[in-house]
A and B are shown apart, each in its own frame.
Chain A
Amino acid sequence: MSRRIAIVEDEAAIRENYADVLRKQGYDVMTYVNRKDAMAAFDIRLPSLAIIDIGLENEIDGGFTLCQTLRSLSDTIPIIFLTARDNDFDTVSGLRMGADDYLTKDISLPHLTARIAALFRRLDVIDQPTSPENLLQRDKLSLDIGRLTIQWDENPVPLTVTEFWMVHALAKFPGHVKSRQVLMQESKIFVDGSTITSHIKRIRKKFMLIDEAFDCIETVYGMGYRWNLSPDSIN
């Protein structure tokens, strides 16, 4: 069964370019110009994955509304925001709406397709048992590279794919400083330094929701970030 991807984007050229690439990847792609068309189609049949722009024709926040509706229809369907808005506020809002990732339009097509593939893979492996070679255990942290999921002290941490790749990049070699540049490459995004800073902040917050005392991600001023093993595990 081929994957059905819905692209909701009002800019025709972009929409068609993305659709072409994804079709070449073998996906089934449907494109919608505005929220109404998209909703009408979603009511009939849900796609496997949705790529949504925030500003849709005359609705400034149409994408957000669409995302909320879609999430209410299905808890599992991966939703990606792909937008020109690169500010922190929109990013936080979008992720809070239940989106699986928030990408700016700077992202290159290969990076985009990599993410889509990752999201589908995560969806696929949910029911399968974890193969031990895909597991990475660091102290309380356990990464499942196959499923793209993370557990802290046996509790799942809800990270986006981008965030997962960042944590993976850090935790792969604990104690090594990863510069922002490296983190960008690893997480397959292209942003400026302050965006990385806010990503790290969000990751810390998510961990701290589970464990108040979480402080494994250390900022090394002027260089980047480092995953520290907690002192008691070293002892």
Chain B
Amino acid sequence: MNFKLKNPFGIRSKLVFLSSFLLVIPWLGYRYILVMEDYLRRGQEQTVLGMAQALASALNERPELFDEGSYSPARQSEDLYVYPVFSPLSLNDGELIDWREYQQYEVDYGRDDYLRTSLNPLRVYARDNSLSFKNMVGEYNGSLYAYFKVTDDKIVYRSRDTLSVHRSDFLQISMLSKEGNAVNRFVVAPHEPEFLYPFKVGPDFSDPIHEERISGQWYETDDGYEIELQIPMEMLGDRLGFALFDVDDPESRAISTVIGTYKVADAERLGSLRLPTPEIDRIVAGMDHSNSRIQVVDRSGRVLLTVGDIQSASGLQLSSRSADQQSNNYWVYIKDKILNPLYYRILTKPSNDFIDELYSEVSRDGAHIDSALVGTANTQFRTLADTQTRLLEAAYPILANGEVMGAVVVDQNMNGLRTFRNQALESLFNTILAVMFLVMFGLFFFASRISSRIRGLRNQAESIIDDSGRVQNTIVASQNSDEIGDLSRSFSNIVERLSQYTSYLENMSSRLSHELRTPVTVVRSSLENLGMTEKNEESAIYIERAEEGIKRLNLILTNMSEATRLEQMLQTSEKEKIDLNKVVHGCVEGYKLAYPEANFERDAPEYSILISGVPEYIAQLLDKLVANAVEFSYKDQPITVYCRTLRDHAVVKIINAGPFLPEEMKDRLFESMISVRPQEKQKQPHLGIGLHIARIIADFHGGQISAENRLDKEGVIITLVVPLFYK
């Protein structure tokens, strides 16, 4: 038996190794999605450029839009445009410098805005241009701010000795109340350039009550005065009007001119508060929902207007995935805690929390704008260093009369695309992980099944033939129709034929003896008859010799069938609980009588050794072993019969001192018809049946029998191992 080193790579590990090539699939998917992303990015680039082009086309050939100063919205109604102001405004600084670039949005009011009121009921038109003002309304931090640059040739302040507030230059603020059911009027009529002290008045300027929520400053300028004021938004309804009353004669203090932001002094005719929508705004406003930041710059790169903010300008609208996240909390947990952290070691997650430091409200620059301002549309990508956010910027020139008037700049961040790509990769990886897990598991299961079947077949094949080469089991033919099943069936076939042949060989002696018995009987009975009749002395000798020969022949025949007979008897025998030690003891006592010339020693404990067996057969077994031991012992050398328990087995050893067994015969000694006796010792016929019978009995008791040469001196040990009685 040569046991080779076991193959370290079984079918299972080979299949698992092969299936690891499946890992190439996610890599391919990753590559594919990267290519997709590239396509999408180019698409987005084209879209953004197209958007810029469309806008630029709308603005083409309209040079007036870009005229210096005319970019203020044309005043068309009594509505007031409230510009959002992004910087704090100061009321008491005495100048308008803090309004900065918002001043370009101021609106002129002049002679055409003459207002007839109860104080100047007679005059229908303005007498001259002595009063005009520029007005700007802005909103900052929950308050409405306004300033008035008033041009007035004569400033008449309220006299300190009068209670009336309408007999000087004053500003009237009319507003619809928050509830919308009444018009509140406030008057600002200072005694001198001062911090404002406004009054709430009735319709006819009576009952002035101080209103402290409105604050502001009045100060004089070279050609008139300026008023800055602040009204909390919560005071305001949705309609508001300003009117400036002018008194020219400090004596009569009659109102000479009133110019207002509304045409008729009527609550319904007050102007609405509106956000400014100048012309470009209106054109651009159509693009407001385009998920982009759109800017229009003029020739010098000054930003004329901005629509949208870059943080939300992701270009792509992504559908919300909150719905399916509710569906399986367990899956969400795995995804959020295990998979996503793994994925985002490789992927970058874009953040919308970034600051475009190049962006300012006032001006823009960049290679794409420079290029657009010389007449070539261009796009560029810019990566914001701190947040890994990429911005896509496109600029398209606006032309008028063949001349570049400005450019449309459309910006988008790439976060939408990046998020889209990440989502695609996530779902790809999830799917592939699931598929690979399934495939790996399937392959592993399949390989395990195959290798277990092959191992089962191997174990069966190994157990067919025992150590001495006898066919013991058969192979159960598999019903499977595949190659392994086929192999199993063909093995089963071979084993069946082999066992048939073996059983033929094993039964041959028995059948041979049976067949020979009849002719032997014929010869013997004839001889006996002859012996009874023949009185001739000479022939009597021959008859006697012939009968002697027949007797030996008969003995041989009996021995030959002994094994078969024993096996038949064993089939009907029932094992009982017996004391092996007692049986051995009885046998040894018997042998001492039966072989007076031999020297027996018993090496056994006092306690009983219980086994399950048939005492007669055990005795028969010992008979055979001892008969052999006596025959092969040297004279005067003891034959030791040893009996002990070893763990859960009983061990009986017959130890003699005699010639060694030939090495090659040791395993075959217990086979039928095997004898190691030298020819000259054959006084009696020996067929090598004795030890074979011993083994049959040992097998019947579930035990084993083996022979080995002694190590200490010349001799042989025959060992019988039988399992102990087990309830």
Contact = CB atoms under 8 A, between A and B. Distances in A.
A193 interface: yes
6 contacts: A13-B522, A84-B521, A104-B517, A219-B615, A221-B622, A222-B623
B568 A88 contact: yes
A84 B528 contact: no
Interface stretch (B310-318, B338-346, B581-589): B581-589
Contacts of B562: 192, 194
B290 interface: no
Contacts of A109: 525, 528-529, 532
Contacts of A222: 586-591, 594, 619, 622-623, 626
Contact of B517 (A13, A84, A88): A84
Interface stretch (A18-26, A33-41, A64-72, A138-146): A18-26
Contact of A86 (B532, B565, B590): B565
Contacts of B526: 13, 17
A188 B534 CA distance: 24
Interface string B462-503: 000000000000000000000000000000000000000000
Contacts, number: 103
A213 B623 CA distance: 29
Interface residues of A, number: 35
Interface in B606-626: 615-616, 618-620, 622-623, 626
B566 interface: yes
Contacts of B711: none
B561 interface: yes
Contacts of A219: 615-616, 619
Interface of A: 11, 13-14, 17-18, 20-21, 24, 84-89, 104-106, 108-110, 179, 190-195, 197-198, 219-224
A221 B622 CA distance: 9
A195 B623 CA distance: 15
A106 B569 CA distance: 20
Given A17-B528, A84-B517, A84-B518, 9 more contacts: A14-B525, A21-B529, A86-B558, A88-B569, A191-B558, A193-B623, A198-B569, A219-B615, A221-B583
Interface of B: 514, 517-518, 521-522, 524-526, 528-529, 532, 554, 558-559, 561-562, 564-566, 568-569, 572, 583, 586-591, 593-594, 615-616, 618-620, 622-623, 626
A223 B590 contact: yes
> Most chain-A Cβ atoms within 10 A of its Cβ — which of B586, B587, B591, B616?
B616
A44 B692 CA distance: 52
Contacts of A87: 561, 564-565, 568
A18 B569 contact: no
Nearest to A179: B594
B586 A84 contact: no
A195 B529 CA distance: 27
A21 B41 CA distance: 123
A41 B338 CA distance: 101
A-B pairs, top 8 by smallest CB distance, nearest first, are: A222-B590, A222-B587, A221-B586, A223-B590, A17-B525, A105-B521, A221-B619, A13-B522
A224 B559 CA distance: 20
Nearest to A18: B525
A198 B620 CA distance: 13
Contacts of B522: 11, 13-14, 17
A187 to B, nearest CB: 16
A202 B254 CA distance: 159
Given A24-B532, A88-B568, A221-B587, A192 B559 contact: yes
A197 B565 contact: no
B558 A85 contact: no
Contacts of A11: 518, 521-522
A108 B587 contact: no
B641 to A, nearest CB: 10
Given A21-B532, A88-B572, A193 B514 contact: no
A40 B498 CA distance: 48
A177 to B, nearest CB: 8
A195 B568 CA distance: 12
Q: Which one of B522, B586, B589, B626 has the greatest number of beta carbons of chain A within 10 Å?
A: B522
Nearest to B528: A109
Nearest to A88: B569
A34 B535 CA distance: 35
B569 A20 contact: no
B518 A197 contact: no
A192 B623 CA distance: 13
Contacts of B590: 220-224
A194 B566 CA distance: 7
A57 B56 CA distance: 124
A191 B532 CA distance: 23
Contacts of B623: 193, 222
A219 B565 CA distance: 21
Contacts of A20: 529
Contacts of A17: 522, 525-526, 528-529
Contacts of B517: 84, 104-106
Contacts of B620: 193-194, 197
Nearest to B562: A192
B514 A223 contact: no
A104 B524 CA distance: 13
Contacts of A198: 569
Nearest to A191: B558
A76 B213 CA distance: 149
A175 to B, nearest CB: 15
Contacts of A193: 620, 623
B696 to A, nearest CB: 11
Given A14-B521, A24-B532, A223 B566 contact: no
A191 B517 CA distance: 13
A85 B514 contact: yes
Residue in A18, A87, A89 with the greatest tally of chain B CB atoms within 10 Å? A87
A111 to B, nearest CB: 10
A204 B561 CA distance: 25
A26 to B, nearest CB: 13
A116 to B, nearest CB: 15
Contacts of B594: 179, 222-223
A99 to B, nearest CB: 19
A13 B524 CA distance: 11
Nearest to A10: B518
Nearest to B595: A222
B654 to A, nearest CB: 13
Contacts of B591: 222
A106 B526 CA distance: 13
A226 to B, nearest CB: 11
